[in-house]
């Protein structure tokens, strides 16, 4: 967005920010009630900015850590992009159309070991999960930073290194869902998608900028991505491992880090079919993609996109396409993992008050 257009849109941003500030004030002062759940710690992961800040892999890290500690977590999401409404528990027949691409990805990643559900009303969703699974010991809320109707035991705020919230404006002049002051609700801030070579001096400068908006003493941690080997997408014509020449298919908010990784890994991207975040792929689009391929070439995509490519309506178009997804894991920099564990562990002590 040009600087002139940003300036022209700022009055609308101030109006929207004021509306959101008023809403937050109602919850902060108790004039609007927020549900609490003394039965289990509720852990919220979210952001201030519209678009991809790495919520899904960070939620996966958190769920995996809980499992490793012997906890029994559940994952609750709104289910953005689904064509259903109300509470819905993920099961094997579900697709991205019924529960959303990110919940489907999480359900597949944990192979049903973790209850995954979607609900627009997170409080009602938590109560339903607790009725269905009375032995749960934690509920992880995905993309719930602005969902003030639930008061979490721990609120995790994510922001990208390349697009930090403190350099952005509220919609429509920028991409923030609320003002930068919203960072004060965070119990920990994680700067995501960092350059692995980010220096301590650069991290200190970022901490200072975030410290202008976060509460005093709130930890600011840094994470980066670790990319895995390509994984065949079920139902596609995958044989040998991908060669050096590939076509890339994405329907995510920020495909830049993936493209940077592919270049560094020695892949030559011949064509990038880029679609908006949560895009519902159509057979005609896949046929156009197939036309870009030559013998020995394949399609590389993300794990979230792969979840949407499993729609039954796409099966015929996918059958002859060699498609792989690139898995992503979160890696914390410096002592970030230890510090996050120090915040989490007390929530599961017998004396903890949630």
- The tens digit of pLDDT for each residue in 117-152 reads 999 999 999 999 999 999 999 999 999 999 999 999
pLDDT in tens, 94-119: 999 999 999 999 999 998 899 999 99
For residue 168, pLDDT beyond 80: yes
Contact in structure between 88 and 62 (CB atoms under 8 Å): no
Q: Closest by alpha carbon to 192, among 224, 154, 148?
A: 224
User: What is d(CA 272, CA 260) in angstroms, rounded to the nearest whole number?
Assistant: 13
- pLDDT at position 14 is 94
The string over 122-153, giving b where at least 16 C-beta atoms fall within 10 Å of a residue's C-beta and e elsewhere, is bbebbbbbbeebeebbbbbbbbbbbbbebbbb
State the DSSP H helix or E strand holding residue 189, giving kind and residue range, or none if neither: strand 188-192
Instruction: For residue 295, give both structure tokens.
Output: 């013998």
At residue 81 the predicted structure's pLDDT band, cuts being 50, 70 and 90, is: confident
Looking at residue 296, its pLDDT comes to: 86
To the nearest whole number, what is the mean pLDDT of the chain? 93
The answer, yes or no, to whether residue 230 has pLDDT greater than 80, is: yes
pLDDT at 291 over 70: yes
Q: Where are the domains of the chain?
A: 3-225+332-348, 229-326
pLDDT class for 242, splitting at 50, 70, 90?
confident
Please give the class, per CATH, of domain 3-225+332-348.
Answer: alpha beta
Is the pLDDT assigned to residue 208 strictly greater than 50? yes
- Transcribe 219-281 into DSSP letters: -EEEEEEEE---EEPTTS---SPP-SEEEEEE-SS--HHHHHHHHHTT-EEEEEEE--TT---
Q: Which of the pair, 244 or 239, is modelled with greater confidence?
A: 244
**pLDDT digits 0-9 by tens, 68-78:** 999 999 999 99
The answer to whether the CB of 66 falls within 8 A of the CB of 41 is no
- Residue 1: band (very low, low, confident or very high) from pLDDT cuts 50, 70, 90: low
């Amino acid at each position: 967005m040009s600087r002139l257009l940003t300036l022209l849109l700022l009055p609308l941003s101030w109006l929207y920010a004021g509306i959101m500030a008023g809403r937050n004030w109602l919850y902060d002062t108790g004039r609007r009630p927020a549900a609490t759940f003394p039965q289990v710690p509720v852990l919220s992961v979210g952001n201030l900015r519209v678009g991809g800040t790495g919520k899904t892999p960070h939620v996966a890290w958190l769920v995996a850590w809980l499992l490793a500690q012997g906890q029994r977590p559940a994952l609750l999401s709104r289910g953005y992009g689904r064509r259903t409404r109300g509470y819905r528990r993920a099961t094997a027949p579900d697709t991205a159309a019924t529960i959303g691409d990110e919940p489907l990805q999480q359900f597949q990643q944990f192979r049903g070991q973790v209850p995954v559900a979607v609900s627009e009303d997170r409080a009602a969703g938590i109560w339903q999960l607790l009725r269905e699974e009375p032995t749960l010991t934690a509920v992880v809320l995905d993309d719930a930073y602005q969902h003030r109707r639930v008061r979490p035991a721990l609120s995790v705020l994510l922001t990208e290194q390349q697009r930090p919230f403190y350099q952005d404006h509220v919609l429509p002049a920028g991409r923030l869902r609320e003002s930068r002051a919203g960072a004060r609700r965070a119990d920990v801030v994680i700067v995501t998608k960092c350059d692995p070579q980010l220096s301590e001096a650069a991290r200190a400068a970022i901490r200072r900028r975030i410290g202008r908006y976060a509460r005093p003493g709130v930890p600011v941690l840094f994470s980066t991505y670790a990319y895995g080997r390509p994984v065949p997408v079920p139902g596609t014509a995958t044989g040998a491992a991908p060669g050096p020449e590939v076509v890339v298919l994405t329907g995510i908010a920020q495909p830049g880090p993936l493209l940077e990784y592919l270049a560094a890994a020695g892949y030559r991207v011949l064509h990038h079919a880029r679609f908006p975040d949560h895009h519902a792929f159509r057979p005609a689009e896949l046929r156009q993609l197939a036309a870009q391929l030559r013998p020995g070439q394949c399609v590389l995509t993300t794990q979230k996109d792969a979840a949407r490519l499993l729609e039954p309506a796409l099966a015929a178009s996918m059958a002859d396409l060699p498609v792989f997804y690139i898995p992503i894991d979160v890696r914390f920099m410096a002592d970030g993992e230890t510090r996050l564990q120090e915040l989490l562990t007390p929530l599961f002590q017998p004396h903890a008050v949630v």
